[in-house]
Structure formats: structure tokens, C-alpha cells
Amino acid sequence: MTCIIIDDEARSRETINNILARYCGDVEVIGQAENAESAYELINTCKPDFIFLDIQMPGGSGLNLLSFFEDADFKIIFTTAYKDYAIDAIKLNAVDYLLKPISIKEVIDAVAKIKKLISIRGPVQTAKTKYLHLNSKTTIDLIPVDAIVYCEAESTYTNIFLNDGSKRLCPSRSKMWKSNFRPLIFSGFIIPFWSRKNT
């Protein structure tokens, strides 16, 4: 897999590059850019599989950069110091949204998501994916709604079970229903019910 790192801070680019070199041997960094203008040229020239993209940069934001790629065939991992743009990230179908300072595990997990998406890439992947976003003090976790098998309510928490066998914990049930799916609730179990228009 190939990627480009876009960030106006040299230290941030170096951090991501070092993590990839040490822990993600199947990822090749084919370019780095410090602003939106040079990033635009680099993406068009190098055609990366995915990009790490900062949002606030001099001369143009990462969000503005993406507006020039209406049918982008690359995946996006946002890297930023601000939570404010999470909704924009979801609308742009971002794979992950990492808050600075970025940890090694966050980068490894984000790359794993990219690898999985690329391995199953096909015609059905062109549709926009709906996400459930879970906020913590340091991260915003984007979970594809169609990956949710069922949810289990427990006291003030909700356990979210995914189709890969993993489980996520939502500390506030009231917040998770802001996503675009409706639940069916049976004896403490919540089953996602997001679309039956075609059945």
C-alpha cells in the first residue's frame, strides 16, 4: 500500500513516517507535503492508496483540498488537534480521525482499517458508508454502521458487538443514536435497523 503524509508540521510528518516504517512494513510513504497546494500536485502525480491529512494548514485546509477530488479513489485518515471537524470527516467518508498527539496504536489500527478496505474494494464500495461515531477524551472512533451485529444495553453503558468479533463500549447510550440508524430493542438488546427500503 502507498500513502502520502500531509501536514504543515514537520515533526508530525516525521512521527507518522517513523511509526509506519517501524510497525507497518507493508506501507510505503511515497511523498510528503506541508500545504494543500503541494499536496494536490503530489496526489495527482503519485496516486496513493491513502493519505494522512491534517486539517488546519496555512494557505488552505485539508477539507478544502478534498473538495478538488469529487471522485477520490484514495482513502483518508485525518490527523488533527481539533475535535470540531469530526462531522465533516464522516461526511467525507474518512476511514479514521486521529487526534494529536497521535499514538503508535492509533496509527497501526487506522492502517489496518485501510488494508481491510483495500482488500475488499469493489463496485459496492462506491456507496457512502454510514458511521457511528464514539467520542472519548483523546479519540473519535468511527464505526461503520453495517459492521454492527447488535448492541447490548448495560446500566449507563452500551456494548457494541461488531462483525469481526470485537466489542466497543459506548459510555452514553443517548449520544450514540445521533447516527443514521434506528434501533430495535428487545429485553436489553439493541439490534441495528438502519434500512429496509429494498426488502
What is the arrangement of strands in the sheet containing 50-53, beginning at the earlier edge strand?
28-33, 2-6, 50-53, 75-80, 96-99, 140-144, 131-135
DSSP at 70: T
- pLDDT in the model for residue 194: 47
The answer to whether the CB of 39 falls within 8 A of the CB of 69 is: no
Long-range contacts of 77-81 (CB under 8 A, 24+ apart): 77/50, 77/51, 77/52, 77/53, 77/110, 77/114, 78/53, 78/54, 79/7, 79/12, 79/16, 79/52, 79/53, 79/54, 80/54, 80/55, 80/56, 81/56
pLDDT of residue 118: 85
Return d(Cα 178, Cα 132) in angstroms, integer: 8
pLDDT tens sequence across 65-104:
999 998 788 999 999 998 888 888 888 889 999 999 999 9
What is the Cα–Cα distance from 140 to 156, expressed in whole angstroms? 20
Confidence of residue 177 (pLDDT cuts 50, 70, 90): very low
CA-based radius of gyration for the chain: 18
Summarised one tens digit per residue, pLDDT across range 10-41 is 999 999 999 999 999 999 999 999 999 999 99
**Other beta carbons within 10 Å of 144:** 16
Beta bridge pairs of residue 131: 144
Whole-angstrom distance, CA of residue 78 vs CA of residue 45: 21
Give residue 10's Cα distance to chain centre. 22
Cα distance between residue 61 and residue 59, in whole Å: 7
**SS3 of residue 53 by DSSP:** strand
- State residue 91's pLDDT score: 84
pTM over 0.75: no
Annotated domain spans of the chain: 2-128, 145-193
CATH of region 2-128, choose from 3.40.50.2300, 3.20.20.210, 3.30.1180.20, 3.30.360.30: 3.40.50.2300
